[in-house]
Structure 1
Amino acid sequence: MEYVTEKLLTIAAHEIEAQTLWDLKTHALLKAEAVDYVRDSQKQLILEPLIARLMVHFLSHDAITPLGDCKAIVHHLRQLLRQCQQQTASSNCYAADNLLNLLNHLKADLTGVDLSGLTLRQVDLADTPLHQVDLSNTHLKHTRFTESISDIFRISISPNDDLLAMAGLNGAVFLYDLKAGQWTNSWSAHQGWVIAVVFATDFQTLFTGGFAQRIAQWNVVTGQCLQEWQTDSPIWRLALSAHGQWLVSGHETGKAQLWNIHTQLLLRVLNHSGVVRGVAFHPQTHHLATGSSDRQIKLWSCATGECLATFDGHDDAIWDLGFSSSGEYLASASSDGSAMHSPFLHYLLQISVAQAT
């Protein structure tokens, strides 16, 4: 075992110094999801001796690396990380993982580092600040974070763009501060899957719903439940009206329910013939759009509960809906692999003309 470890250290140090990563692409120096004592022993027996060897190398090359010891190593590792981004994900394998684990062990400042496009398979990011780190198009697998996050069903961004809320399989809600670049809160919201989450217009609260057939409103700072009420079927989607007084829930049983959030009074029941997974309020008018596994989008009057129009076009179940900020267009996404947008104001005008005549 000692011989194998020594051989690995020699090869890893040479590849990093020469900037030619071969074995470091096919062998992970650290298993991020291993049990604590195994992961700690890998840090002690592999990462620490490797860093010690690199320090000796860089200290003996001061003329070439005027930054000296740890700073020179960090600079060198970040250069190699940028090289990984210029290669295909399949060719990198564990290269970027090994470089990041070394940087983490050196407690390097990763603020603003660009990790976009990388595939990260065995990285220990627990207790690592990730302020303004670019993870766009990054594939994360077997990567350890400070918080253990379940599979995510739904995300929502607060109206002021400060907070990101995530909800998923284990019934928990996670909050991430987008400006500070850190997790701010998490709590257990429901028994079972939480599939719907939406922020209130006050920025300070959010609503959740799921297969427990329950809607709840939460304080985002304390995680305290402010109010809750029971529905009669599993909930797939929630949406809040622009004036913040109405909440619509899309249900497994093929209906959308319109609620007054202050009184918890059920105002309208709007029917489809399939699961309602798409709900969206128009940002300027009292209109509501719903989409269902019956492949139809329906436009409703919130005031009367009347179905004003039905739109076809998708070949499979509709999973989500959303109005543009101007209210001019309605976008829809389907499991047929398509996304469509419709000129909502044009349809509204046609409806108004028809009603007038």
Structure 2
Amino acid sequence: MTSLTSVELNYLVFRYLQESGFTHSAFAFGYEASINKCTIDGSLVPPGALITCVQKGLQYIEMEANLSNAESDVDEDFSFLQPLDLITKNVSELRRTVKERRKNELKKSKDKELNKEHDGVRGLAKDREKQARKREREKDAEKIEEKSREKEPGKRNDKEADTNHDDQKSIRHEESVVSGVPEPMEISTTPASQISEFLSSDVTILEGHTSEVCNCAWSPSGSLLASGSGDSTARIWRVGEETNQLSTLNGSSNEIVLVHVKSKTNEKSKDVTAIDWNVDGTLLATGAYDGAARIWGIDGELKSTLTKHKGPIFSLKWSKKGDYILTGSCDKSAIVWDVKTEALKQQWDFHSGPTLDVDWRTNVSFATSSTDNMIYVCKIGETSPIKTFSGHQGEVNCVKWDPAGILLASCSDDVSAKIWSMKQDKCVHDLTEHEKEIYTIRWSPTGPGTNNPNLPLILASASFDSTVKLWDAELGRSLFTLNGHSDPVYSVAFSPNGEYLASGSLDKCVHIWSVKEGKIIKRYSGKAGIFEVCWNKEGDKIAACFANNVVCVLDFRR
């Protein structure tokens, strides 16, 4: 039997009765005090109930003793209990309660960590590039298993196309798929002896950012290159004809700094998360962690600040005519902004999770993707989605319309990429040969409606499994598995003529691949992970942005 002194009994009564809502007319407890004066919610507590409560207190002591001899942390266990639990439950019930609440707390903790990632931005932005930086920091401890073994050739998907070939009459009514794709094949890693390195004379390093550079984009009209960083600035660089020389902007400097936040104390929460040039290259739009979209002139003048989002902007795109800007945010919404009036045109709130990516189909319709696994196609003036695509079992990281606006490609954490058609609810092709999450996708600038109409339409997908895959868009099967990187691949970009593909990885390397042969033809090794690569309009320069605060421009003239 456990013996209690009067002082110990007073402590038990005080701790497990009064803290549970009981009151006493004299506040001090003791055997001398009348138990008939104990009340809860204004009602007297019968003496028998008080005795039962004291028994519960004894069970508490027994449970504490038992748990003290176990491996579990007593203080941690009791943090899951309320005083009322101790009064109303026996020891077995208390143990079950602790177990259930610990399980719920663990789930909340995981959800909280997931939300932190979603609140981040590439490099810090888009939920996606936050992961890139996290993986860069943890890279030494998390080496990709595939690095030390040969990659097995990918399995061919012999599934035939589900849709008929149609003549392309109108983007809004007619759809087609492209023919003339070469026979599918797979390759292994290109031997290192066959890879040509970029010479130092062919590389320009742009320095100025004070934090990781998350995104970059060439102007469609000239030699201007824009970059966005975690240092709360975007920068416009003018790259001259000679790659190792930078020409001046405004006659004074080779860069213009676009400051998004002036207060140094808030810089870390105001990263530049997305950038995009308008169709004629006269305006640059940026999205930021503070939820604002901004429009800048090429001279660095801030033209407009668009503020309606209630969370970080993860994606931003100019419309095809340049009269609208489309933004997707962590606040789960997408907004179309009227550039001329500098006002919100329309807002859509269909997603139940952060909107990760957006992409225009026409000048008035677009697709959105989210952490809720859903894809919606929306149209200005319509209050409901004009099409809903469901089928992914994980976050949809990226959505891209093909150059003709006929097919929509998507990729997800569920290790699949999919191709969709507005004519049907189910995906046209389910591309499932990657082994890990697919971070991004890009269409080749080929096929109907492009400057390369006689070349087949190809989809490229980049994955955490360290590979890039090229897919036959018509038949939905793999043409090549591009094995060359040793860490997650975060960016791919086709050259303007569709003949080459650039890829950037956390392994610090930029690879240039021959699309026709599926082989690496040139490589640049940097000093940090790479978040994005992009080609200029002439196809003779590739820009890459790095986690060590620099942008590199590679001269590619063959």
Q: What is the TM-score of this pair, normalised by structure 2?
A: 0.36
Work out the number of aligned pairs and report it. Answer: 225
1:332 to 2:458 alignment? no
Equivalent position SS for 1:192? coil
Unpaired runs of 5+ residues, structure 1, are 1-113, 122-131, 351-357
Q: Is structure 2 residue 385 aligned with structure 1 residue 256?
A: no
Q: 1:204-262 CA distances to partner (integer Å, 9 max, x unpaired)? A: 21111212122211123443111113223124344444433431110111111122233
The one-letter amino acid of 1:309's match is H
Q: What's the CA shift for 1:338? A: 4.1
Structure 1 residues 343 and 232 mapped into 2: Cα distance closer, same or farther (>3 Å)? closer
Alignment correspondent of 1:231:
350
- 1:268 to partner: Cα distance: 2.4
Partner of 1:212: 331
Among 244, 261, 272, the alignment partner of 1:148 is 261
Is the 8 Å Cα contact of residues 235 and 249 (structure 1) preserved in structure 2?
A: no
Q: Which amino acid aligns with 1:234?
A: G
Residue among 427, 430, 436 paired with 1:310: 430
CA contact 1:116–1:136 (8 Å) conserved in 2: no
Q: Please tell me whether the aligned partners of residues 155 and 197 of structure 1 are also in contact (alpha carbons under 8 angstroms).
A: yes
Query: Which segment drifts farther, 293-302 or 207-216?
Result: 207-216
Distance in 2 between the 1:136 and 1:161 partners?
Answer: 11
Q: Distance in 1 between matches of 2:329 and 2:426?
A: 27
The 1:140/1:218 distance shift into structure 2, 3 A limit, reads closer
Amino acid in structure 1 at the alignment position of 2:292: A
Determine the C-alpha separation between the residues in 2 that align with 1:279 and 1:169.
21
Q: Cα deviations across residues 78-101 of structure 1 (Å, max 9, x unaligned)?
A: xxxxxxxxxxxxxxxxxxxxxxxx
Residue in structure 2 matched with residue 323 of structure 1 by the alignment:
443
Q: 1:1-357 residue pairs with structure 2 within 5 A? A: 116-117=206-207, 146-148=259-261, 150-178=270-298, 180-271=299-390, 272-327=392-447, 328-345=457-474, 347=476
Point out where structure 2 has 5 or more consecutive residues left out of the alignment. 1-203, 212-221, 234-256, 263-269, 448-456, 480-558
Separation in structure 1 between the aligned mates of residue 290 and residue 408 of structure 2, nearest angstrom: 30
Segment of structure 1 superposing worse, 337-346 or 243-252: 337-346
Q: Could you say what secondary structure the match of 1:284 adopts?
A: coil
Q: Which amino acid aligns with 1:177?
A: G
What secondary structure is seen at the aligned counterpart in 2 of 1:250? strand
Counterpart CA distance in 1 for 2:468 and 2:294 is: 28
Cα deviation digits, residues 183-205 of structure 1 (max 9, x gap):
43223231112112121222021
Match of 2:510 in 1: none
The answer to whether the Cα contact below 8 Å between 1:115 and 1:134 also exists between their aligned partners in 2 is: no
1:297 deviation in Å? 0.4
Q: Separation in 1 of the partners of 2:424 and 2:229?
A: 47
- Percent identity, aligned pairs only, is 20
Is the CA contact 1:280–1:321 (under 8 Å) kept in the aligned structure 2? yes
Task: Please give the secondary structure, in 2, of the residue aligned with 1:266.
Answer: coil
Change (3 A) 1:192 1:310: same
Which segment is superposed worse, 253-262 or 145-154?
145-154
Preserved contact between residue 430 and residue 476 of structure 2 (Cα < 8 Å): no
Q: Give 1:345 shift.
A: 4.5
- Which of 1 and 2 has greater Rg? 2
Separation in structure 1 between the aligned mates of residue 420 and residue 232 of structure 2, nearest angstrom? 45
Q: CA RMSD in A?
A: 3.5
State the alpha-carbon separation in 2 of the partners of residues 142 and 224 from structure 1.
Answer: 24
For 1:140 and 1:229, the matched residues in 2 are separated by 28
Query: Residue 250 and residue 341 in structure 1: after superposition, are their counterparts in 2 closer, same or farther (change >3 A)?
Result: same
Q: Once the two structures are superposed, what CA deviation does each residue of 1:72-122 show, in whole Å capped at 9, x if it has no partner? A: xxxxxxxxxxxxxxxxxxxxxxxxxxxxxxxxxxxxxxxxxx98246768x
Structure 1 residues 133 and 182: alpha-carbon distance in aligned structure 2, compared to 1, 3 A threshold: farther
Hey, what's the Cα distance between the residues in 2 that align with 1:198 and 1:136?
14
How far, CA to CA, are the matches of 2:370 and 2:343 in structure 1?
25
Conserved in 2, the CA contact under 8 Å of 1:277 and 1:293? yes
TM-score (normalizing by structure 1): 0.54
Distance in structure 1 (CA, Å) of the matches to 2:368 and 2:444: 20
